[in-house]
Amino acid sequence: MIDASQSQSRRSGGRAARRALRAAPLAEDIRPIRAGMSGGQYRPLTEAGMQRIHQAALEALEVIGLSQAPASGVEAMTRAGAIQGDDGRLRFPRALVEDMLAKAARDITLHGRDPRHDLHLGGTRVHFGTAGAAVHLVDLATGTYRDTTAQDLYDAARIVHHLDNVHFLQRPMVCRDILDNLEMDLNTLYACCSGTTKHVGTSFSDPSHVAPGIELIHQIAGGEAAWRARPFISNSNCFVVPPMKFAEESCMAMEHCIRAGMPVLLLSAGQAGATAPAPIATAIVQAVAECLAGVVYVNSIAPGHPAIFGTWPFVSDLRTGAMSGGSAEQALLTAGCAQMHHFYGLPGGAAAGISDSKLPDMQAGWEQGITNVLAGLSGLNMVYEAVGMHASLLGFCMESLILGDDILGQVLRCVRGIDVTEDSTSIEVMKSVCLEGPGHYLGTDQTLALMQTEYVYPVVGNRMSPKEWDEANRPMLLDRAIARKNDILARAGSQIAPDLDRAIRASLNIHFK
């Protein structure tokens, strides 16, 4: 007869073994979740709805058009078939839009400096990453906000490099400690590339900054030929100022980036009820129309140049006019935009994961969870701003990067869905357990085999029983997130070779250590 202490020891030993098994790293091909899994299960728009949005967008381009394109853009687009009216607005005949859609790049790859981090965009493949231009950092020690710095950006990049479920780094914050705009743009580039070898997205505050930025990029890549073969940075470009106006300086920067071989994100970021129409469907119409104008622009300069269809309409709280990035309406907008990307067969990106909460609390959790899961299930290729963003994009939080990685793990598991195969629906194990075995599945070969390949476990999330939690001195979620952040930063070095780093620092004023 087995006494109670032996029974407890056996249970504890089994649990410890299972935990050790879960902690062991898996080969990439058998991981339950990974970058680029296919979504598309969630479709808030009907086929008829997508057709209506498409036709309305074409009508808007033909009747309203866009104003304020730079002269170089006007020349390229009118040469391709756009018509400039006496009012200065460029209008786009339907045939022109259709021709340019036929030339547009599809199934593009956004490269990482390490090929393991390449992002293959096409179909309903899903990738999550950072983005934004936060001007404040959340200080959890004091519960206050302070200005963001170049050091903060470098640290965020190093953390992202070590998070499995954050697949790319687009600059999430502004280096507010740097007053000179050229220095700020170059430090932004270098901080991101120093911190990670994942794909990087950035922007330029002035068209004249593209050339020195490209010079720095060539240094990092090992020459222009190496860069053009594997461009590992994309230009996040707000080429329009909604509603229906080109942003002249951003357009000029985009032209420079295209000629330098840099992929571009065509970013339209109207705010429903403010700079975009209040109806969710019409907000999508305007964003689609603006991005279709971007497709014409890019392909009139360089047919087939890699460009991401960046419909990023945001939501207003119509009671106050404030942005509401964590709302259900935002989740619907983003999912609807993803469907329109699939409608055109173009690689697309939009925003999700934004929290209106000021701190990583329960509100932040539900806002990040609901918007990211709908983005993933809709099959959005590039989910920007998925982690770290608070205060409706004004604040960034390092600990939220850590917590967001856990959220995205669960989101990706939802994206993967349920595997229904002959093996997964066989009742042979059921027969064995119920008719011959112990009456439970805890120790079966099937259960042990599926522990890591079918199930995803949080890194900092807590699933202890109240008794276990008490015995472990009641660990708190934010404390665990802080500890993991500190552990990563303590061991994460620069991703730039020391000799190259010294050479770059000798020629540029780099503001982070």
pLDDT over 80 at 3, yes or no: no
Comparing C-alpha atoms, which of 209, 213, 293, 210 is closest to residue 256? 210
Residue ranges of E strands in 301-394: 307-311, 314-317, 322-323, 349-351, 382-384, 389-390
Which residue shows structure tokens 């963003």? 389
Instruction: Report the C-alpha dihedral over residues 249, 250, 251, 257, rounded to 10 degrees.
Output: 120
What pLDDT is stored for residue 171 in this prediction? 97
pLDDT of residue 447: 87
**What confidence score (pLDDT) does residue 25 get?**
65
Counting every residue, how long is the chain? Answer: 513
Confidence at residue 125, expressed as pLDDT on a 0 to 100 scale? 98
> Is residue 392 very low, low, confident or very high in pLDDT (cuts 50, 70, 90)?
very high
Confidence class for position 193, pLDDT limits 50, 70, 90: very high
Percent of the chain with pLDDT over 70: 95
What CATH number was assigned to the domain covering residues 101-416? 3.20.20.480
The predicted model gives 414-427 an average pLDDT of 93
Cα separation values, 507 from 71, 181, 185, Å = 34, 17, 15
Confidence tier at 27 by pLDDT (50, 70, 90):
confident
pLDDT in the model for residue 322: 87
**CA nearest to 314, candidates 351, 367, 266, 369:** 351
11 pLDDT band, cuts 50/70/90, is: very low
Which of 485 and 29 is assigned the larger pLDDT?
A: 485
Residue that the structure tokens 């780094």 belong to: 169
Over residues 166-184, the mean pLDDT reads: 98
Across 438-457, average pLDDT: 89
Give yes or no for residue 437 having a pLDDT over 90: no
Q: Are 169 and 194 a contacting pair, CB within 8 Å? A: no
Region 409-433 average pLDDT? 93
Closest CA to 460 of 476, 475, 481: 481
Judged against a pLDDT cut of 70, whether residue 285 lies above it is answered with: yes
Out of 125-139, 334-348, 437-451, least confident range: 437-451
For 60-71, the pLDDT digits (tens) are 999 999 999 999
**Angle at CA of residue 24, ends 18 and 27, nearest 5°:** 125
Report the pLDDT averaged over residues 248-269. 98
Give residue 400's pLDDT band: very low, low, confident or very high (50, 70, 90): very high
Average pLDDT for 172-188 = 98
User: Residue 24: which residues within 8 A CB-CB, separation 6 or more?
Assistant: 452
Q: Average of pLDDT values for 287-304?
A: 98
Helices in 171-236 by DSSP H: which ranges?
181-195, 210-221, 224-229
pLDDT-derived band at 21, boundaries 50, 70, 90: low
- Angle at Cα 39 formed by Cα 230 and Cα 268, nearest 5°? 65
288 pLDDT more than 70: yes
In whole angstroms, give the CA distance from residue 330 to residue 280.
Answer: 9
One-letter identity of residue 101: L
* Nearest one of 444, 368, 426, 445 to 401, comparing CA atoms: 368
Which residue reads 């922007």 in tokens?
A: 203
pTM: 0.94
Question: What is the reported pLDDT for 14?
Answer: 62
CB atoms within 10 A of CB 398: 22
Whether 195 and 155 have beta carbons less than 8 Å apart is answered as yes
Which residue has 């099937």 as its token pair? 446
Predicted local distance difference test score (pLDDT) of residue 451: 87
User: Which of 3-7, 144-148, 375-379 is predicted with the least confidence, judged by mean pLDDT?
Assistant: 3-7
Confidence of residue 12 (pLDDT cuts 50, 70, 90): very low
Residue 8: pLDDT over 80: no
221-250 pLDDT per residue, tens:
999 999 999 999 999 999 999 999 999 999
What average pLDDT does the chain have? 94
Dihedral of CA atoms 42, 48, 52, 53 in degrees, nearest 10, equals 10
In the predicted structure, residue 123 carries a pLDDT above the cut 60: yes
> Do 235 and 214 meet the contact criterion of CB atoms below 8 Å apart?
no
Q: Where are the domains of the chain?
A: 101-416
